[in-house]
Chains A and B, each alone.
Chain A
Amino acid sequence: MRKKKTKPPQDGFSRRDFLKGAGITVSTSLLPMPGTAAARPEGSSEVLGPNPVPITLSINGAARSLKVEPRVTLLDALRNQLDITGAKKVCDRGVCGACTVILDGRAVYACNVLAVEAEGHKIETIEGLGTEEHLHPVMAAFVDNDAQQCGFCTPGFVVACKAFLDKHPNPTLADVEHGLGGNLCRCGTYAGVREAVLEAAKTLKGGHANG
């Protein structure tokens, strides 16, 4: 009879396991985003952690100070520490887009960005785009076209759509299918999403008022 000691099940190699406990080197080169404001001078590097470190994040125009372990993702910091819960945790490995936020004008998966990396960058979440009472035109288009069922993927879709339309104000249907291919829905709302994005593109150009 064979006995063995085992570790808890893990899904193979994980980014945070790799970083865990060893401290982490943050340098501006970690962020492959040209033209972004850097927190630290070009080329410098600093070893952070493993204990919590104080950081300040710029979220929807407000400065928020918190202490995070360097291994904590931007998504977990938003949700668990700041109670900003619009971005959802679903796949937790950069596949489904439910955690999409805008970092310096670019849509990113918040589960693939460490909170410490996001310092010095401009973070926009779904909460910054509009409210229930004052819907952003993209949100209004999602409501009008019923581009949501359970709604769990919706904030990520709305944010990704907003960032997409900022860069592609005149999209074709093919552009939409390519540009929003990084967001997944389980209920199957893509028919509505396709309509919503095209409608929002019109609204944002002043085609007709919706939001």
Chain B
Amino acid sequence: MASCKYDWPPPGERSLIGKRIKRLDGPEKASGRAKYTYDINPSGLLFAKIYRSPCAHAKITGIDTSEAEKMPGVKTVLAVMGVGDETHWVGDEIVCVAAESEEIATDALSKIKVQFQELPFFVNEENLDQAGDHAKPASTKTKGDASKAFSDPDVVTSEGYYGIAAITHCCLEAHGNVAQWTGNNLLTHSSTQNVPGLPSQFGDSLRKQGVDVSDKNVETICNYIGGGFGSKFGTDEWGIHVAQLAHKAGRPVKLMLERDMELEGAGARPSAFANIKVAAQKDGTLVAWDSKSWGSGGFPGAGMPPLPYVLTGIPNITTQHTSISTNAGPARAWRAPDHPQAAALTLCALDDLAAKLNMDPIEFLSKNADLSARGNVYREEMKIGAQLSDWQKNWHPRGDKTSGTVKRGMGVSIHTWGGAGHPSSCGVNIYPDGSVEVNMGSQDLGTGTRTVIGIVAAETFGLPLEAVKVNIGDSKYPADSASGGSTTVGGVSASTRRGSVDARDQLFEVVAPSLGVKPEQLVAVGGYIQAKDDPSKKLSWKEACAKLQVKPIQALGRNLPRGMSPCKLNDSGVGGCTIADVSVDTETGLIKINKMVAVQDCGLIIDLKTAESQCYGALIMGVTYALFEEKIMDRITGRMLNNNMEFYKLAGIGDVGDLVVHMMTGPGYDERGTIGLGEPPVISPGAAISNAVANAIGVRVPTIPLTPDKVLAALEKGGMA
């Protein structure tokens, strides 16, 4: 491959890239000084609340807001639905109120009177038979001749029912915005994964509501966001409403969702259920797959797990998926959309087949790994995972045969993700006083984006990280893209590298004459600009920048779409594996996590510390959805029964066991450039834990979350109880 001036520095010349570096905004966050949207309190602020539908499906027959409007302290009332409109889930927005205090806004809601004509609804999609008109065929796939392959007398076939419940995003900072108008200019503080995209979304939607504003007059700021996980890409209806309320009231307005609405309506990960049949030859070679799957992401239905997952090269395949619309809050992208469900369905079904074949599942997956896009990566990763989890010592054929009521088991799963860098632009400024500024209309979800940008710039300039000022979180800066699908690190690292190299080369041009060398002979290293071959010819960074006199350097770097540049700064496509070690109390059904191991590749790692944190976090989120999380809908009332954090359980610090993370780095990985990491490690824990439980108790608990009642029910059916 032709070399390119933007290429990453070779391994021996990296002073920051790939090291464990503390996140740039750590002190601001740890000291409580970081200002999130929820913390923005401009003077004259009004507080908004929303009157929501209490019915899962109903037609509005009357709305009376007059009493609320007359209340002292209520500034603006905005009905966003009218008589004749239909609500489709509990929590649908009907009337918004802005008042002088949260308390007055809450009181005002109780004065609003809405009449409903209730309509039939459906909320329990696991019961496919009862879905009726709510179920729609979504896709079918056929490859080879599955029915012929299954009828071969020499194959071993395993059949089972598998599933994974709908869960919520449960961002700790609820969705919301603070909207402020100055004339025709709108400033929003928004809890968003999409700083550069929001102004045009606000502009579009507000113009449709008759508000006179152009996109260029909208500025969105999000310096810190308290969790997104795929649920915060848009203004949302409530974002438009708060801008309308602020416009009407002539005062800034804050609207953050209440916790019940955050869980009911601000995003769900679709459920997935499937009857799966899978067959292999007696030596473990996979030959056939058949799945009939269904699931729902609420209203109006979404989600379709890619089946079979990872091992897509199985020669004979039939699949059929049904999408169900329920009267629950709409689905949104949830960290690795559709993949955790696909892993839970596929890797559990394959694990049951391996058990039937009396094979170690790592041996079984390794044997079939070439049915995936990266067999060698998976084999290498599972080998490392096995070592880190003491697999050889702790794994046993299905069913822990030791005495005692607590059974121990091991499980494995593998996963894949793309993670190509998104379009990104980056402004890099070098000032005559030696200061360096990197400006980008991006956002840091807590993944370490701010730190990655700083490291790439500092590395390029040969400066310490502290010497670079990173400004993100404001749409006025050169536009990056939304942070979703693990596309951010590839995008921002490439645009920052390109902008920084261009800025550095401009500085070389300026200082070369005074050092008596050609610009291309210069390097920036260790705080100096010096001649490559004669380090005695050098200027300190500050001295070099002083040569700029009064004219700062301003460069703009862009991450070009793949194929448009000879530089190999980023790539896509990763594999990873997760191993779970669990103990199951067969008397109570309680599962205890002993240890979780994640082995993950993501190309070139910019900051090893925050990369590892992503994987630790993914393991913990994985434990949470494997054991606790479920959006429980009441079929009688259509309401979410656990719309609070008391009953919508998140794992606590004592629930997660020992955590081990191994990042694949070095030759074979580094030279691919940067690849996204946010999604992949969260995909496998559900399947790995379910498989470990099956290995412990000798029977499959069919659906995730693996709650004690389900464990006991599975044991009753035929486990080791």
Contact = CB atoms under 8 A, between A and B. Distances in A.
B618 A188 contact: yes
A150 B226 contact: yes
Nearest to B45: A80
A183 B172 CA distance: 12
Contact of A9 (B26, B90, B659): B90
B30 A1 contact: no
B260 interface: yes
A153 interface: yes
Contacts of A20: 107
Interface stretch (A26-34, A36-44, A124-132): A124-132
Contacts of B101: 80
Contacts of B118: 2, 4
A72 interface: yes
- Which interface residue of B41, B91, B173 has the most chain A CB atoms within 10 A? B173
B227 interface: yes
B102 interface: yes
A85 B41 CA distance: 9
B378 to A, nearest CB: 24
Given A9-B52, A85-B39, A146 B613 contact: yes
A13 B61 CA distance: 28
A146 to B, nearest CB: 5
A138 to B, nearest CB: 8
Interface residues of B, number: 80
B26 A142 contact: yes
B643 interface: yes
Given A85-B39, A127-B32, A187-B446, A2 B653 contact: no
Contacts of A154: 29-30, 32
Contact of A2 (B109, B114, B117, B610): B117
Contacts of A192: 613, 616
Interface string A78-98: 011001011111111101101
Given A132-B28, A150-B227, A188 B22 contact: no
Contact of B652 (A130, A146, A181): A181
Interface string B605-626: 0000110111011111100100
Interface residues of A, number: 73
Interface in B97-113: 101-103, 107, 109-110, 112-113
A123 to B, nearest CB: 14
A79 B47 CA distance: 13
B35 interface: yes
Nearest to A138: B30
B182 interface: no
A176 interface: yes
Contacts of B224: 150-152
A193 B653 CA distance: 8
B620 A132 contact: no
Given A4-B116, A135-B31, A186-B171, A76 B102 contact: yes
Contacts of B26: 142-143, 146, 148
B616 A91 contact: no
Interface in A90-128: 90-93, 95-96, 98, 125-127
B653 A176 contact: yes
A90 B36 CA distance: 13
B645 A93 contact: yes
B445 interface: yes
A193 B445 CA distance: 19
Contacts of A79: 39, 41
Contacts of B31: 86, 126-127, 129-132, 135-136, 139, 155
Nearest to B171: A186
A22 interface: no
A190 B620 contact: yes
B645 A184 contact: yes
Contact of A139 (B30, B51, B110, B225): B30
A208 interface: no
A146 B609 contact: yes
B645 A3 contact: no
A71 B103 contact: yes
A5 interface: yes
B212 interface: no
Contact of A189 (B113, B170, B617): B617
A8 B173 contact: no
Nearest to B173: A152
A92 B174 CA distance: 11
Contacts of B614: 149
A205 interface: no
B55 interface: yes
Nearest to B34: A151
B590 interface: no
B27 interface: yes
Contact of B22 (A95, A127, A143): A143
Nearest to A176: B653
A46 interface: no
Nearest to A152: B226
B281 interface: no
Which of A69, A140, A152, A176 has the largest number of chain B CB atoms within 10 A? A152
Contact of A90 (B52, B172, B652): B172
B553 interface: no
Interface in B166-223: 170-174
A180 interface: yes
Contacts of B23: 143, 146, 148
A3 B116 contact: yes
A178 interface: yes
Interface in B590-613: 609-610, 612-613
Given A132-B31, A143-B27, A152-B36, A11 B650 contact: no
Contacts of A98: 172
B65 interface: no
Contacts of A166: none
Nearest to A139: B30
B275 to A, nearest CB: 32
B33 interface: yes
Contact of A191 (B28, B445, B620): B620
A187 B109 contact: no
B405 interface: no
Given A11-B260, A132-B31, A188-B619, A150 B41 contact: no
B367 interface: no
Given A126-B31, A142-B30, A189-B617, A184 B650 contact: yes
A7 B110 contact: yes
Contact of A146 (B22, B33, B61): B22
Contacts of B643: 11
Given A90-B173, A191-B620, A193-B653, 7 more contacts: A88-B38, A91-B644, A93-B645, A150-B227, A184-B645, A187-B621, A188-B619
- 10 cross-chain pairs, A with B, having the tightest CB-CB distances, nearest first: A86-B32, A188-B620, A152-B226, A150-B446, A188-B617, A151-B29, A126-B32, A149-B446, A177-B654, A85-B39
6 contacts: A11-B643, A93-B646, A143-B26, A144-B22, A149-B617, A189-B613
Interface of A: 1-9, 11, 20, 69, 71-72, 76, 79-80, 83, 85-93, 95-96, 98, 125-127, 129-133, 135-136, 139-140, 142-144, 146-155, 158, 176-178, 180-181, 183-194
